[in-house]
Structure formats: C-alpha cells, structure tokens
Structure 1
Amino acid sequence: MSEIDKLAWLYIQNKQLLGARSKGKNTYYIPGGKREAGESDEQALIREIKEELSVDLIPATIEYAGTFKAQADGKPEGVMVKMTCYLAEFTGKIKEDAEIEEITWLNHHDLAKCSQVTKIIMAWLKSEGKIE
C-alpha cells in the first residue's frame, strides 16, 4: 500500500471551512499540498498556501490540528492520502492562484462534493463543533 503525504490549512470562518477546487476538477479539497525535499511541515504549508491562495501564513500562529487518512481520490484502490492539518492566521487577501479555479466555504452539508479525506476531516470538525 502506498501513501501520499500532504499538508492542509484548516481555515474556519462563521462555522464554515475554506475549500478549494483545482482547474478541471469537480471535487473540493482543503488547501495545501505536498512538501518538497528538505521542507518542514511549516515551510511546505506556508509555500503551498502562498502559491494556491496568495496569502502569507503567520509562522508563529501555525498550530497542529490533526492527521487524517483516506483512500486517495482518483488513485488505485489502496493508495491512501495522509493529510496533516494545521490552523494558522494569515496576512493578505485570499484569492485563487496557480492551479486553483475556485474557492468556497464548505459546511457539513457539502460532503458529497468533497474528497474522501476532506469528508473525514469535516466530520471531525463538525463533531468538535467547529463547523455546521
């Protein structure tokens, strides 16, 4: 079994989670991505969020939230994605950049249009009372 190791930024506002959809895709994901060689979680998360959403995460506010695993969307059975999630404050204005075509606010009612790992994370956030 193989595993895709990714990092994600949980940004919650008004009990909704910020989600992103890549160009040419129909599924929403939590913003973030894979680390490059030699990067720490923090460095990779800061870089990925800057590339995708044009904002700067504030390093001193980055806080581990949890790690979640699920079948990777669009990959053969048994290929798992491990999503290590962080909370953080930011500076700048969130807007689509790089491969991101759309950003939206998600709540528990949007599960059908989310990736498998996003569904698991959203269920956890709902159980914690963080999203509706």
Structure 2
Amino acid sequence: MNQLISVGWLYRKGNKLLCVKSKGKDKFFIPGGKLEVGETYEEGLQREIREELNIELIPNSIQYLFSITDIAYGLENTQLTMFCYIADFNGDIAPSSEIETAKWFELSQIHNCAPAAQKAMSYALELQV
C-alpha cells in the first residue's frame, strides 16, 4: 500500500470546524495538503494555508495536536497520515487556488467530508481544540 503524508489546519468555532472543497471534488477536506521536498511540517502547513485560504498562519502559534491515518480519498491502494495543527492567523479567509469553497461543519454533517477529514473532525470537536 502507498503511503501519503499531509498536514492539516484545524480551525474551530464553537462546535464547528472549517473544511474546504477543491474544484471538481465531491467531498470536503481539512485545509492543508502534501509537503514539498525539503519542507518541514510547519513550513508546508503555512504554505498550503496561504495558497488555499489567503491567510498567514502566525509561526510561533503553530501547535501540533495529533495525527490520524485513514484511506486517502480518491486514491487507490493509498493510506494517508495527516499531521493536524492549530494556529492563529492574520488576514481574512478567502478560498483561492484550487479551493472552490470553505464551509463550517458540525459533527452531524460529517458525511460531507472525506474519510480522513471525518476522523480529524471527530477528534478535534470531541477534544474541543
């Protein structure tokens, strides 16, 4: 089985978590993505969030919370491990690049998300991060 490593930004308001949907996809994901060669997890997270949501994460506020492993949605024979972080940010969230929309989800709407996003959302909302 192939292994894929990604980073995700958990942004929570009350009992909802911000998720994004890429153009042409049918499920929502946790904002973030795959690392580029030579990037640390924190650098990759900052780049991905800048590209996807037009905001700047504040470097000294970035905090690792947990990792989840699940099936990589839309990829055959691939397992995804996502390293999940919280962080403060500057700017106004505005989807860009490949992101079609950003939306707030609560646990009752979890079926709209990809498997790894569902697992990360469950942990984040249950932990109240």
TM-score category, normalised to shorter length: over 0.9
Q: Is the 8 A contact 2:16 2:125 kept in 1?
A: no
How many angstroms apart in 2 are the aligned matches of 1:125 and 1:32?
15
Identity %, equivalent residues: 36
Alignment root-mean-square deviation, CA? 1.1
Task: Quote the residue 1:36 is aligned against.
Answer: 36
> 1:31-79 deviations in whole A, cap 9, x for unaligned?
0011111111111110110000000000000000100000111111x41
Whether the 8 Å CA contact 2:29–2:114 is kept in 1: the answer is yes
Shift of 1:22: 0.3
Alignment of 1:97-112 (within 5 A): 97-112=96-111
Contact 2:70/2:80, CA 8 A, preserved across alignment? yes
Matches of 1:122 and 1:8, distance apart in 2: 11
TM-score w.r.t. structure 2 length? 0.96
Distance in 2 separating the partners of 1:126 and 1:16: 7
Structure 1 unmatched runs, 5+: none
Residue 123 of structure 2: aligned partner: 124
What letter matches 1:44 in structure 2? Answer: G
**Alignment size in residue pairs:** 129
Q: How far apart are 1:108 and its partner, in Å?
A: 0.3
Give the ranges of 4+ consecutive aligned residues of structure 1 lying more than 3 Å apart after TM superposition: none
Tell me the SS of whatever aligns to 2:117. helix
Alignment of 1:11 onto 2:11: yes
Write the letter of the residue equivalent to 2:45. L
* Aligned match of 1:46: 46
- Point out where structure 2 has 5 or more consecutive residues left out of the alignment: none
Tell me the secondary structure at the aligned position of residue 70 of structure 1.
Answer: strand
Match of 1:96 in 2: 95
For normalisation by structure 1, the TM-score amounts to 0.93
